């Protein structure tokens, strides 16, 4: 798709706003947007959000034979991809210039600065070395791709764990993650890129330009630095003429920003490590918040439970007598018990959550399975639909929509199908909790 053209009106407004030191989102000239780092369930997978710009980074490794002229060093491979998901203007195969520029900058920043110890990636000199591959995908383009990409790359590399290898004479043993814990990469320092946009022939300077600001800027200066104030890469594009003190000022600002960002990265890595060690929930499902459109919030809908009892009685009359089932609770751990096995779930995809849901469903409605008396079953059905009443009056969450559809289902089910209550309850619990449990595997 062709890129939306920038109208004269917008350009004039942006330049005038910059002259008055105002930015579209209310930041100051030297302010960064909010940086959010979230980790996936695998090691080496992370999403970095810089305002609305999002980059996904994934690190993977492989054993290969080394390059001929570097027999004792591992191989690093960086790849940044701009997919049409990021902006409609990116077409596959149609963005060579920007893509090449970003890839080259990333490579210079991370490879030439020797932030990763490639000697430690050597397994058998001249025969087998680790090839570390960093894939970065731009998920949303709202300006300043290079900063977000460099943060994502270094965070993914710090987060990554490669399988452990031991060499004894001629024998090389590669351990699986189950045999021995995977080992982190050896990283010397963390270079981070900071971008500066210049306007009006270098008169005005903005840090972390957003997409609109990038379109009206005259030139861009990118400085990559680590927290020890060592400059790893510096690049100026756009053909503007910069004065010496401008460049020095930019490098001082970079030092401050890099220190802040490095601290943020360390904290994020530390949090993730703690969560994994304590066995808590990790992964994108936990860290990326849900965003809701409040304009279409559903109002509370009353559920008609008038003739539930009659319908339930009908079903119970028509249903087969329950099999003689001896309820024998299995105590799994203090506080968790299971009665019965639960049915085969017809969804089929979500095996793990299925098992968990059935356990919960069983322990919730322990009296409905293996219930013997008709009256208790009646009461349980009524209380189940009453539970629908209670659960509908939740404050606005996406699950509201889920629950409102279900009373119809259960009504339909009680009218036309004679499935057991167990399947109903496990499906209901399953539907409600499906979203949460979905991404823990």
Partner 1 sequence: ATALAGAAANRAGPSRAPPAGTRVGQVVLPGDVLLLPSHPEADGERLWLGPGAALPGRLVCGPGLRSCGAGLLVTKCGLLRHRQPGGAGGGSGGAYWVDSQQKRYVPVKGDHVIGIVTLKAGDIFKVDVGGSEQASLSYLAFEGATKRNRPNVQVGDLIYGQFVVANKDMEPEMVCIDSSGRANGMGVIGHEGLLFKVSLGLIRKLLAPNCEIIQELGQLYPFEIVFGMNGRIWVKAKTIQQTLIVANILEACEHMTAEQRTQAFAKLSER
Cβ of residue 197: shortest distance to partner 1, in angstroms?
A: 18
Residue with Cβ nearer partner 1 (188 or 438)? 438
Cβ of residue 318: shortest distance to partner 1, in angstroms?
A: 16
Residue with Cβ nearer partner 1 (4 or 376)? 4
Cβ of residue 381: shortest distance to partner 1, in angstroms?
A: 18
Euclidean distance between CA atoms 250 and 197, whole angstroms: 11
Cα within 13 Å of Cα(346), Cβ side: 5
Residue with Cβ nearer partner 1 (94 or 332)? 94
Residue with Cβ nearer partner 1 (135 or 354)? 354
Euclidean distance between CA atoms 382 and 193, whole angstroms: 62
Classified as helix, coil or strand, 225 is: strand
Pairing of the two strands 128-140 and 75-82 = parallel
Q: Angle at which helices 308-318 and 399-416 pack, to 10 degrees? A: 50
How is 240-301 classified by DSSP, letter by letter? Answer: ----HHHHHHHHHHHHHHHHHHHHHHHHHHHHHHHHHHTT---SHHHHSPP---GGGPPPP-
How is 403-424 classified by DSSP, letter by letter? Answer: HHHHHHHHHHHHHH----HHHH
Cβ of residue 275: shortest distance to partner 1, in angstroms?
A: 25
Structure tokens that stand for 439 in this block:
């991404």
Classified as helix, coil or strand, 429 is: helix
Residue with Cβ nearer partner 1 (181 or 351)? 351
Cβ atoms of 151 and 192 closer than 8 Å: yes
- Residue 398 has φ and ψ, to the nearest 5°, of -65, -25
Structure tokens that stand for 416 in this block:
């036309």
Cβ of residue 403: shortest distance to partner 1, in angstroms?
A: 9
Which residues of the chain form contacts with partner 1 (CB under 8 A)?
Answer: 1-2, 4-13, 16-17, 20, 22, 24-26, 291-298, 347, 396, 398-399, 401-402, 404-406, 408-409, 412, 416-417, 431, 434-435, 438
Residue with Cβ nearer partner 1 (169 or 296)? 296
Cβ of residue 9: shortest distance to partner 1, in angstroms?
A: 5
Please list the residues that pair with 48 across neighbouring strands. Answer: 37, 55
Cβ of residue 421: shortest distance to partner 1, in angstroms?
A: 16
Residue with Cβ nearer partner 1 (155 or 216)? 216
């Amino acid at each position: 798709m062709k890129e939306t053209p920038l109208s004269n009106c917008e350009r004039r407004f942006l330049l005038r706003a910059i002259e008055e030191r105002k930015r579209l989102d209310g930041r100051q000239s030297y302010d960064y947007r909010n940086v959010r780092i979230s980790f996936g369930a695998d090691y080496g997978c992370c999403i970095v959000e810089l305002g609305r710009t999002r980059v996904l980074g994934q690190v993977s490794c492989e054993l290969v034979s080394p390059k001929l002229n570097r027999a004792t060093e591992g191989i690093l491979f960086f790849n940044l991809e701009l997919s049409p998901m990021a902006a409609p203007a990116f077409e596959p195969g149609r963005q060579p210039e920007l893509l090449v520029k970003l890839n080259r900058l990333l490579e210079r920043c991370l490879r030439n600065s020797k932030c990763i110890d490639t000697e430690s990636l050597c397994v058998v000199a001249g025969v087998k070395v680790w090839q570390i591959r960093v894939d970065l995908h731009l998920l949303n383009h709202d300006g300043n791709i290079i900063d977000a990409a460099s943060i994502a790359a270094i965070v993914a590399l710090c987060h990554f764990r490669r399988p452990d290898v031991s060499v004894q004479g001629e024998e090389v043993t590669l351990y699986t993650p189950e045999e021995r814990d995977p080992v982190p990469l050896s990283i010397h320092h963390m270079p981070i890129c900071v971008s500066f946009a210049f306007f009006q022939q270098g008169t005005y300077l903005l840090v972390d330009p957003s997409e609109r600001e990038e379109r009206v800027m005259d030139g861009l200066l990118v400085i990559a630095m680590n927290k020890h104030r060592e400059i790893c890469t510096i690049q100026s594009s756009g053909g503007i003429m910069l004065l010496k003190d401008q460049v020095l000022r930019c490098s001082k600002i970079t030092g401050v920003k890099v220190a802040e960002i490095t601290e943020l990265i360390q904290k994020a890595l530390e949090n993730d490590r703690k969560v994994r060690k304590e066995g808590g929930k990790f992964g994108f499902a936990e860290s990326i918040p849900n965003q809701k459109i409040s304009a279409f919030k559903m109002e509370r809908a009353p559920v008609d439970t008038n003739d539930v009892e009659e319908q339930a009685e009908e079903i119970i009359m028509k249903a087969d007598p329950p099999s003689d089932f001896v309820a024998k609770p299995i105590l799994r751990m203090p506080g968790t018990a299971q009665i019965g096995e639960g049915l085969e779930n017809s969804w089929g995809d979500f095996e793990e959550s299925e098992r968990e849901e059935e356990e919960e469903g069983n322990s919730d409605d322990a009296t409905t399975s293996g219930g013997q008396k008709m009256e208790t079953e009646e009461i349980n059905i009524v209380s189940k639909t009453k539970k629908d009443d209670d659960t509908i009056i939740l404050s606005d969450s996406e699950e509201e929509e889920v629950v409102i559809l279900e009373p119809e289902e259960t009504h339909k089910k009680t009218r036309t199908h004679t499935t057991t209550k167990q399947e109903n309850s496990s499906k209901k619990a399953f539907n409600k909790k499906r979203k949460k449990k979905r991404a823990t595997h």
